[in-house]
């Protein structure tokens, strides 16, 4: 479809411009961008609108709908998931983000799943697996007479394979690994991530059953069942297992939990089998060999200023219009998608699942002057999601009238309950929106903001301060804005305890770490009540949170109808970089005025048995030096420096510097900080490098030169799963834990894809 000459220009915020250029624009063989923002959004809008030609009874002409879709996206009222933005209208054509693959109990089936996962990761998707069908460790293998190695050994194979596959050349794959709580190897699975760096390409969750939760309540034992035989192989005390899950969540946030029976109660097509797993962030349960494409409405765009009531402060009519268009858009994506496996194509077209969610929820509350941690906000969240769900279903009915219901409708629960025909087996999902919300300039998903103001590092050590626009406007309206105040807010990230500000302002502009955990959970439950699939949300806990707090959250999630829950206690990771003020104050051994970042980084990461890297030669005044840097997830982990024919004293200096730099790297110290300390140290024999690469003044200066050029100036395009959770591999920003995953608030990187 030809691009109109008078297409409106796209208004981009600076971060959106950077993210689009870095991750989304199509590029030629020379790496140069082949499109701009207008070209990208027209490519997507026209490709998806073109699918209307397949349906004679469509109420839209493709050319007309393409312009509507273009405006819908460029007004930042709706955006589809990243694979659609990247691939629609291109030769790749894989437009979905979420996949679930089965793993059968045979070597052939296991390695078929490895191969299929690689194909999905290559095309830009994330994968979920259940390892629950695999026979337990030390079981007999009939065909060989040997013994099975168990689910964890194969989980390690999947993790290693993922490490080698880049999604579409931009990021490595992400996975969800699930094991049922009644599997005989469940205790080994629960402890799988005790050693940091293990299974770093996986989120892990335990599938809890109703029988298990009832046994927890009664402090009873429950049976462990071998999946290959169906026989009971032992028993565990349910409450003790639950307590271990609580303790592990308190220690590191892993593994999470999903309520698998509840997920299957909401399975719209139970005749096609049980749901065993979800996508990597947990919000999209799927059948084996099934996929779902997602999109999000930006709620911040529907605020109506200067209205006298809450009801009139939201443009419900425009929201309805956008919901109906978004459902049509996502249904067209099902037709436009080219999937890597025929089984996936068959299942997706049979059920036509879509997942419409939201972003900008915290920003809408700020504009409405409603505190996130209030019953008013929870009630509005429930009302908002009911509206989206009802209008989404209405739009799906309209499409069923135009195009027919999804092919499996006749055997679905909708037919059994006489609910009328729908085009889509599911309509709503609350997915992570890290990158999308940066493009739209809004808050992520249904999460509160992590910080009202933060500093962003740019070239040459300069820092740019970014402030939430609604917070800044509120400060100016209250006549309390000042550079000194903003400096303090940027340092803290929040306004908790700043009594110089009006009480109402402090109540409204709360951030994730200043919200009591119970309100996180209540908000998740409110949105879950009217969500077909599930809600991606993190219950952020202060560093001082106890295991009792997590136990309460887990039980509350079960009682209030959530399909899973992710908790994260601030400062629980040994190399976490971004901390709340409370975690900073309570870090063990932190002295007055000492940075908790430096304190926490002293926990040195263990070295894996196998690690890869590169060796670079550099000329020094003492001869050729060979510097080897080994990496994990594309980030430097350790460094070795050797100088060939120099004296023992010089070799000792090179080795000592390498050891100290390695210790700093393994302790989580940023590359930029290391370079700042050793760059420019003078020596007795400076030497010029070839070309325009400057002068190397000494051995430490040479090491700084390599680190700076490799990681700070010409960063390699890598995007691991962030197993150690310190810095963003795209922009060196500090990672936060949000929407069930580590993510970067600056560039939108998300470890779960």
109 is catalytic: no
279 is catalytic: yes
Phi-psi region for residue 727, left (φ > 0), alpha (ψ -120 to 50) or beta? beta
Is the Cβ–Cβ distance between 579 and 492 less than 8 Å? no
Distance CA 351, CA 406 (A): 6
644: DSSP letter: S
Nearest Cα neighbor of 569 from 539, 595, 548 is 539
Which residue in the block uniquely carries the two structure tokens 């005989």?
184
Nearest Cα neighbor of 202 from 182, 238, 226, 172 is 172
Distance CA 345, CA 96 (A): 11
Is the Cβ–Cβ distance between 85 and 24 less than 8 Å? yes
Q: Would you tell me how many other CB atoms lie within 10 Å of the CB of residue 177?
A: 27
Is the Cβ–Cβ distance between 149 and 137 less than 8 Å? yes
Nearest Cα neighbor of 39 from 17, 61, 65, 7 is 7
Q: Would you tell me how many other CB atoms lie within 10 Å of the CB of residue 247?
A: 14
Report the relative pairing of strands 354-359 and 290-298 from DSSP bridges. parallel
Q: Which helix (H) or strand (E) holds 190?
A: helix 186-190
Query: What residues form DSSP beta bridges with 454?
Result: 466
Q: What is the largest CA-CA distance in the chain?
A: 86
81 is catalytic: no
Is the Cβ–Cβ distance between 160 and 152 less than 8 Å? no
Report CA 26 to chain centroid distance, whole Å: 23
Please tell me which residue in 159, 203, 267, 279 is annotated as part of the active site. 279
Integer-rounded Cα Rg, in Å, for the chain is 26
Is the Cβ–Cβ distance between 144 and 191 less than 8 Å? no
Q: What are phi and psi of 95, to 5 degrees?
A: -110, 0
Q: What are phi and psi of 549, to 5 degrees?
A: -60, -45
Please tell me which residue in 281, 572, 744, 752 is annotated as part of the active site. 281
Structure-token pair, residue 458? 């740019």
Please tell me which residue in 51, 52, 276, 283 is annotated as part of the active site. 283
Active site residues: 279, 281, 283
């Amino acid at each position: 479809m030809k691009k109109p000459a008078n297409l409106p220009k796209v208004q981009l915020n600076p971060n959106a411009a950077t993210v689009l250029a870095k991750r989304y624009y199509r590029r030629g063989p020379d790496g140069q961008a082949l499109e701009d923002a207008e070209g990208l959004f027209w490519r997507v809008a026209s490709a998806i609108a073109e699918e209307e030609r397949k349906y004679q009874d469509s109420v839209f002409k493709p050319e007309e709908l393409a312009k509507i879709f273009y405006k819908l996206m460029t007004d930042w009222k709706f955006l589809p998931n990243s694979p659609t933005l990247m691939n629609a209208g291109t030769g790749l054509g894989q437009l979905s983000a979420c996949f679930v693959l089965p793993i059968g109990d045979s070597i052939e089936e296991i390695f078929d799943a490895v191969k299929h996962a690689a194909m999905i990761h290559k095309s830009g998707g994330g994968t979920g697996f259940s390892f629950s069908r695999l026979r337990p460790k030390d079981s007999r293998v009939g065909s060989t007479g040997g013994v099975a190695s168990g689910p964890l050994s194969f989980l390690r194979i999947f993790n290693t394979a993922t490490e080698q596959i880049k999604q579409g050349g931009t990021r490595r794959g992400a996975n969800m690994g699930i094991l049922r709580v009644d599997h005989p190897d469940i205790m080994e699975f629960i402890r799988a991530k005790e050693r940091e760096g293990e299974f770093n390409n996986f989120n892990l969750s335990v599938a809890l059953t109703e029988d298990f939760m009832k046994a927890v309540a009664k402090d009873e034992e429950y049976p462990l069942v071998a999946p290959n035989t169906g026989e009971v192989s032992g028993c565990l005390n349910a409450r003790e297992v639950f307590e271990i899950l609580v303790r592990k969540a308190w220690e590191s946030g892993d593994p999470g939990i999903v309520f698998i029976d509840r997920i299957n109660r909401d399975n719209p097509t139970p005749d096609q089998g049980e749901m065993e797993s979800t996508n990597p962030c947990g919000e999209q349960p799927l059948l084996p060999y099934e996929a779902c494409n997602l999109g999000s409405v930006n709620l911040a765009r529907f605020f109506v200023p200067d209205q006298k009531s809450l009801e009139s402060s939201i443009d419900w009519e425009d929201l309805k219009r956008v919901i109906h268009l978004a459902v049509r858009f996502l249904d067209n994506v099902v037709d436009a998608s080219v999937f890597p496996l025929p089984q996936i194509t068959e299942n997706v077209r049979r059920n036509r699942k879509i997942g419409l969610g939201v972003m900008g929820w915290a920003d809408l509350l700020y504009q409405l002057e409603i505190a996130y941690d209030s019953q008013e906000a929870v009630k509005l969240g429930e009302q908002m999601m009911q509206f989206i769900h009802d209008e989404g279903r209405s739009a799906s009915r309209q499409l069923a009238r135009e195009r027919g219901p999804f092919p499996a409708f006749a055997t679905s629960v909708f037919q059994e309950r006489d609910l009328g025909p729908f085009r889509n087996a599911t309509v709503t999902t609350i997915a992570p929106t890290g990158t999308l919300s940066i493009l739209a300039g809004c808050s992520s998903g249904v999460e509160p903001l992590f910080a009202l103001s933060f500093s962003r590092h740019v070239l040459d050590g300069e820092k740019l301060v970014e402030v939430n626009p609604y917070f800044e406007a509120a400060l100016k309206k209250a006549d309390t804005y000042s550079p000194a105040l903003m400096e303090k807010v940027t340092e803290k990230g929040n306004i908790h305890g700043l009594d110089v500000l009006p009480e109402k302002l402090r109540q409204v502009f709360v951030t994730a770490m200043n919200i009591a955990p119970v309100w996180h959970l209540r908000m998740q439950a409110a949105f879950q009540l009217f969500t077909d699939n599930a809600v991606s949300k993190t219950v952020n806990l202060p560093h001082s949170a106890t295991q009792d707090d997590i136990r309460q959250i887990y039980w509350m999630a079960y009682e209030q109808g959530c399909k899973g829950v992710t908790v994260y206690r601030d400062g629980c990771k040994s190399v976490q970089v971004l901390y709340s003020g409370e975690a900073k104050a309570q870090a063990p051994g932190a002295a007055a005025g000492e940075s908790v970042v430096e304190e926490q980084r002293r926990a040195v990461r263990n070295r894996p048995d196998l690690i890869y890297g590169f060796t670079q030669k550099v000329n020094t005044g003492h001869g050729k030096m060979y510097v080897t840097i080994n990496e994990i997830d594309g980030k430097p982990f350790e460094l070795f420096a050797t100088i060939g024919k120099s004296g023992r004293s010089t070799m000792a200096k090179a080795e000592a510097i390498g050891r100290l730099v390695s210790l700093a790297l393994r302790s989580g110290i940023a590359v930029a900080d290391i370079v700042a300390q050793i760059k420019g140290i003078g020596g007795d024999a400076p030497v010029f490098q070839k070309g325009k690469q400057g002068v190397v003044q000494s051995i430490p200066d040479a090491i700084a030169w390599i680190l700076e050029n490799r990681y700070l100036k010409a960063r390699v395009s890598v995007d691991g799963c962030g197993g150690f959770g310190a810095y963003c591999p795209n922009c060196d920003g500090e990672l936060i834990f949000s929407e069930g995953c580590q993510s970067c608030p600056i560039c939108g990187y998300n470890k779960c894809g």
